[in-house]
Amino acid sequence: MTDTTYGDYLRLDRILAAQEPRSDAHDELLFIVIHQASELWMKLCLHELEGARRCLREDNLDPAFKMMARVSRVQHQLIQSWEVLSTMTPADYTRVRPHLGSSSGFQSAQYRLIEYIMGNKNPKMTAVHEGREPDHARLTAAEREPSLYDEALRVLARRGLAIPDDRLKRDFTQPYEASDEVEAAWLAIYRDPETYWDLYELAEKLVDLQYHFQLWRFGHLKTVERVIGYKAGTGGTPGVPYLEQVVAKTFFPELLTVRTAL
């Protein structure tokens, strides 16, 4: 067996050479490292979410719970990264911004893939990546895949809970729409957790994912607000107003409304 060093195994030569500031601004390295590290964390999130979805499809819930819990912890790391980036002042950012061109986090294919597996499908977001393969191909394929929540509802149906067919067999390229019948199924679980303990845990793991994802979005919003105010984003988005709309979006609507019904 060859003698593999720490640096060899982690390919540190490639990773640590990937930061190439385009200005003499001191804070540009911070800006690059935060975003590159975030992309690595998102790669892990996708790995875990795809694994969790596969386990739900196979009725193998315990490993799915572990994977989903791990994603929630990774999301905590992503949330904390905004705290570090927010040490960049408006004056610091104005020295970096001219060198960003039209690049924007809005163009992150991995972020969009996470949203798709969580259920927020949007063909317009896929179109942003036209001409950039393999990102466009991955997003196009992800549009057609059942989301994590779709697979969770199939688990409920296989356990005998009344999930309507129009939620089990639907056009997965479209965003999920709330259903009174689905809420009633979750309500039965929440009212009798001892009988449905693993399904109750599934519900809470999904809520935890949604909670941390929204905190991540909110951290992004407040960091952008703090650093650039209400200027337009580099990718042509409206900036803070766009992020405010995004923060309000949820993935698993019945898991929130069921709390009111209890």
CATH number, position 185:
1.20.58.480
Residues spanned by the domain of 226: 23-259
> What's the pLDDT score for residue 235?
64
Number of compact structural domains in the chain? 1
Cβ of 11: how many Cβ atoms within 10 Å?
A: 10
Specify if 17 maps to a domain.
no
**Is 8 a domain residue?**
no
Q: Identify whether 13 is part of a domain.
A: no
Confidence band for 245, pLDDT divided at 50, 70 and 90? confident
Binding positions for substrate:
31-35, 93, 97, 234
Report the alpha-carbon distance of residue 197 to residue 41 in Å, rounded. Answer: 30
Residue 16 lies in a domain: no
Tell me the C-alpha distance between 94 and 233, whole Å: 13
Residue 109 lies in a domain: yes
The verdict on residue 254 lying in a domain is: yes
Q: Do residues 228 and 241 make contact, with C-beta atoms less than 8 angstroms apart?
A: no
Q: Model confidence over 121-150: pLDDT tens digits?
A: 988 889 989 988 899 999 999 999 999 999
pLDDT of residue 236: 64
Domain contains 38? yes
Give binding residues as ranges. 31-35, 93, 97, 220, 234
pLDDT digits 0-9 by tens, 142-187: 999 999 999 999 999 999 999 999 999 999 998 899 999 999 999 9
Annotated binding site for heme: 220
**Would 1 be classed as within a structural domain?**
no
